[in-house]
Amino acid sequence: MRSTNNHVRYQGKTVLVTGASSGIGAAFARELASRGMHLILVARSVDRLNTLAAELGERHCTQVTVLPADLSAEHAAANVYAEVARRGLHVDMLINNAGFANHGNFEAISTVRDHQQIMVNVAALVELTHLFVPAMLDAGGGAVINIASTVAFQPVPFMAVYGASKAFVTSFSAALAQEYRSRGLRVLALCPGATATGFFDVVGTDAIALGRKRSPEQVVSSGLRALERGRSVVIDGPVNTLVAVVAKRLPFGLAARLAARITLVDAVELAAPKGGHR
């Protein structure tokens, strides 16, 4: 995907979207299909992927490839890459959207569950970026959009691993954006706040949502606009931007105490931590 100045070419290019079966991932797939991109859709839910693929293939006459994968599993990212290569596909844009949160007292969350969270939110994201970026550079450029979160900008009690994982994604993306700025590769950390997806339904509480939820389509619009402008980090929505700016200016300890008031739910809910996928 070559880009010149602020122009990003979509027509006829191919995008790989993880976590594509619903929410922000599905919204990215729909918007980019409407811009003429071919799609490689990755998620755990085969039925949802196939339904989305049929919808977009028929509506936009675009090529849609479905690759079911659980990115929390060892070697899942490498297997996705190998299957893409086996099919002779070239990825011009990578959207690392898959992710989930565990919510509750840290000691009550299983080690296995937090390991899975790190695998999806961090390890798979880094590995997929490692695997697909070299071919983008060889082709003269491309784009990587990593879905972070507004929780990247302060410690998040009761979601400690999730917040830390999104802080990693934001720092990682900003660093790569600078590395590749002169080589035609755009890298963006897109940081949504509360979004109207299935994320909170699976977590089991809306108590951790701050403010009015934005729509997945609004998040996608913010991300693509920022990508076209050459941004390395963007926060979706003016209220989310204000909250993140204030949080970044607070002492770490105070920011954590304020965040705890939002993420703390009653003891019954905390005793049975749940996970939410994006």
Q: Report, as residue numbers or ranges, the catalytic residues.
A: 162
Backbone φ and ψ for 272, nearest 5 degrees, come out as -130, 75
The angle subtended at Cα 25 by Cα 172 and Cα 9, nearest 5°, is 75
Q: Which value, to the nearest 10 degrees, does the dihedral of the CA atoms of residues 175, 252, 197, 195 take?
A: -90
Backbone φ and ψ for 276, nearest 5 degrees, come out as -125, 125
Q: Report how far residue 129's alpha carbon sits from residue 103's, in angstroms, rounded to the nearest whole number.
A: 27
Q: Report how far residue 182's alpha carbon sits from residue 86's, in angstroms, rounded to the nearest whole number.
A: 30
Backbone φ and ψ for 86, nearest 5 degrees, come out as -60, -35
